[in-house]
Amino acid sequence: MSERQRHRVDLVIYPGFKSLEAIGPLTVFTYANKHLESQGMAPFYDIRVAAAVAGPVTSDTVMTLDAAQSLDPDDLPDTALVAGAHDIEGSMANAQGVIDWVTSAAPRIKRFAALCTGTFFLAQAGLLDGRRATTHWRMSKRLEERFPAVEVDVDAIFIQQGNLWTSAGVSAAIDLSLAFVERDCGHKLALEVARDLVIFLKRPGGQSQFSADLASQMSQSSAVRRIQAWIMDHLETPFTSSELAEEAAMSLRHLTRLFQKETGMSPLEFVERSRLDKARRLLQDTELPLKSIAFRCGFSSDEQLRRTFRKYLAILPTDYRARFSSPN
């Protein structure tokens, strides 16, 4: 990376902002600076926290951040990121200063990113009308209902439309920040930061492709959680839908209906996703051949493993391993 002028990044917060959405990007840009300094280079990012009024700002957790800067429509950063909130509509009702600033400043900022439900600020300002955007999957329906002129993409991790960027759920703020570092400073530096944080530089799939383990934790029904745990403990064992229902001590019809209600998928889809998750971990962490991985995960063949990867991740297992395996 050649010498260049410092790049100012302003993280915009307000009462009730999501703390992880603030800390994640701040960490990415700070670690990028640390790596540059360790290589004898000047830090690239000038990182600031800003709010409608400077001072301490409470988050959605016990953490409070000190905003050193007040929002100024005449003093704009190179990159701005506005955090989301768990209760975004309630937070926006008390954040008119942020809405006004976004409306005035966002079109004039080189790169403006709305993190998670921060997308609502851009939508409220009318800046996403006729454009694609994403947000947290749980709030995508509400975004569509409240702002019908916005083309909501529920599956994207992040989306660029001109100088405006929108991102999905909380951890996607880190994905987007890493993408910015890669654009600004190159692939090597972004990869070093990603390795520091023990995360993918580029995550496969979209936000709807959440892991089967996460789906298990989300279930409200103890009966569903029990059968989910049994499935993940017996992934290498072939079993039919009827055998699964017998293990659950309920009819196949009732099990399917309950699973769909609790997880949004059928029991066999959960099995398939669970096997996929295990295969992903083995591809990342081992050098086992595909046939062995398929066998250990309960797939009937390595070809079925390939079909499952293409179905859910739009990538072949060999390509996945090349991109995401742990370095030796």
Give the position of tokens 């994403």: 134
Q: Check if the beta carbon of residue 116 is closer than 8 Å to that of residue 171.
A: no
CA quadruple 211, 213, 218, 220: dihedral, nearest 10 = 140
| pLDDT score at 82 | 98
Residue 13 backbone dihedrals phi, psi, to 5 degrees: -125, 170
CA atoms within 13 A on the CB side of 246: 5
pLDDT tens readout for residues 96-113: 999 999 999 999 999 999
Q: Is 3 helix (H, G, I), strand (E, B) or coil?
A: coil
| CA 210 – CA 213 distance, rounded (Å) | 8
Q: Which residue has the tokens 């300002």?
A: 125
Q: Is the predicted pLDDT of residue 255 greater than 60, yes or no? A: yes
| 3 — pLDDT class (breaks 50, 70, 90) | very low
201, 51 Cβ separation under 8 angstroms: no
> Mean pLDDT across the stretch 118-125?
97
Cα 16 to Cα 35: distance, rounded to the nearest angstrom: 32
Query: Lowest mean pLDDT: which of 112-121, 194-203, 221-230?
Result: 194-203
190, β-bridge pairs: none
Strand partners, 17: 59, 85
Look over the chain and give the mean of its residue pLDDT values, rounded to a whole number.
88
Q: What is the pTM of this model?
A: 0.65
Give the percent of the chain with pLDDT over 70: 90
Q: How far apart are CA 68 and CA 56, in angstroms?
A: 9
Give the residue-averaged pLDDT of 311-322: 85
Instruction: Give buried/exposed letters for 68-105 (b at 16+ CB in 10 A, else e).
Output: eeebeeeebbbbbbbbbbbebeebbeebeebbebbbeb
Residue 200 is predicted with a pLDDT of: 56
Task: Give Rg (Cα) of the chain.
Answer: 22
Q: Which residue has the tokens 């409470």?
A: 58
Q: Give the pLDDT confidence score for residue 325 in this predicted structure.
A: 63
> What pLDDT score does 118 carry?
97
Give the model confidence (pLDDT) of 166-204 as tens digits.
998 778 899 899 989 989 998 889 888 888 886 655 555
pLDDT for 209: 45
